[in-house]
Amino acid sequence: MPYLPARDFVGYGDKPPLAEWPGGTKLALNIVVNYEEGAEYSIDEGDNVSEAILSDLAVSPAVPGLRNRNMESLYEYGSRVGVWRLLSLFGDKNIVPTFYVVGRALELNPDAGKAIAALGSDIVCHGWRWIDYAPLSEAEERQHIAMTVDAVQRITGIRPLGWYTGRPSLNTRRLVVEHGGFLFDCDDYNDDLPYFVEVGSRRHLVVPHSFDNNDSRFSRGSGLETGSQFFEYVGDAVDWLVAEGRTTPRMMTVSLHCRLAARPGRMIGLARFLDKIKANPDIWICRRSDLAQHWLNRFGG
């Protein structure tokens, strides 16, 4: 049996393609806001355990059959307060992020979806539920892809052009391509540039996501605790990539979660970062679908 998805340890090697970002910029920078609240593992959603990761509770033991009200409440903060705080900040700074939207979360708070659309954001589908898709059957995962696309289009009026599960199965990329309508997916972390893969007979674009320039590190015991520390880390990444971009322009993803980055003690660091990138003419601050479309226009689909 073939080992699929196949692993690639070579990539572009020492000959990465010249991205030629718009205006001669050195770095394409995309900010992603993950909207997941309400779609995580929950007894209320028919799961046999409560969510155990990605909150300020860090890792919480999942006890079969029992609700974890602390975890539930921490997730609720993201939809009740966090998403609105982030939308307000991005509006004030005149920066348009991409939203990774989980279908069930959007269904539970459609007003958030309407506000995301009003900001001008593009939407990357983030699964129907914020769960691990490896145990699901191929038929169920296929159904979830269709349900997510339908919810996004119905509630926001936006046609989603990208996909990111986050906890994918080995079938996810093939099913996304099979569904059609997507320009790209983001379910890899292995490069600082987009790249193409072969999925069946189709050449498919991958725009890699990031776990390092990611506020999930607040919840992973990585030593990242404050907004100032986050600013220093992602700011250093920008400085390095802009300098490297004088010869090899790259892309960078900064990933935020409504229940993590939008805590008051972290917002000043995020605001400082937005000011930093806006002041640098060598940075193209872009939506993810615009970055993908640029790559497809330049290198073909």
Catalogue all structural domains in the chain, each as residue range(s) with its CATH number.
Answer: 22-299 (3.20.20.370)
SS (H, E, C) the chain: CCCCCCCCCCCCCCCCCCCCCHHHCCEEEEEEEEECCCCECCHHHCCCCCCCCCCCCCCCCCCCCCCCHHHHHHHHHHHHHHHHHHHHHHHHHCCCCEEEECHHHHHHCHHHHHHHHHHCCCEEECCCCECCCCCCCHHHHHHHHHHHHHHHHHHHCCCCCEECCCCCCCCHHHHHHHHCCCCEECCCCCCCCCEEEEECCEEEEECCCCCCCEHHHHHCCCCCCCHHHHHHHHHHHHHHHHHHCCCCCEEEEEEEECCCCCCHHHHHHHHHHHHHHHCCCCEEECCHHHHHHHHHHHHCC
Q: What percent of the chain has pLDDT over 90?
A: 93
Split at pLDDT 50, 70, 90, the class of 274 is very high
Q: Is the pTM of this model over 0.95?
A: yes
Query: Binning pLDDT at 50, 70 and 90, where does residue 2 land?
Result: confident
Rounded percentage of the chain residues whose pLDDT exceeds 70: 100
Confidence of residue 186 (pLDDT cuts 50, 70, 90): very high
pLDDT for 154 equals 98
Average pLDDT over residues 237-244: 98
- Band (pLDDT 50/70/90 cuts) for residue 222 is confident
Band of residue 181 on the pLDDT scale cut at 50, 70, 90: very high
- pLDDT per residue as tens digits for the range 115-125: 999 999 999 99
> pLDDT tens digits for 263-273?
999 999 999 99
Q: Across all residues in the chain, what is the average pLDDT?
A: 96
Q: Per-residue pLDDT averaged across 66-85, rounded?
A: 97
Whole-number pLDDT of residue 221 = 83
**pLDDT at residue 57, rounded to an integer:** 87
| Mean of pLDDT values over 238-249 | 98
pLDDT tier for residue 185 given thresholds of 50, 70 and 90: very high
**pLDDT band at residue 301 using 50, 70 and 90 as cut-offs:** low
Range in 21-30, 55-64, 155-164, 275-284 the model is least confident about? 55-64
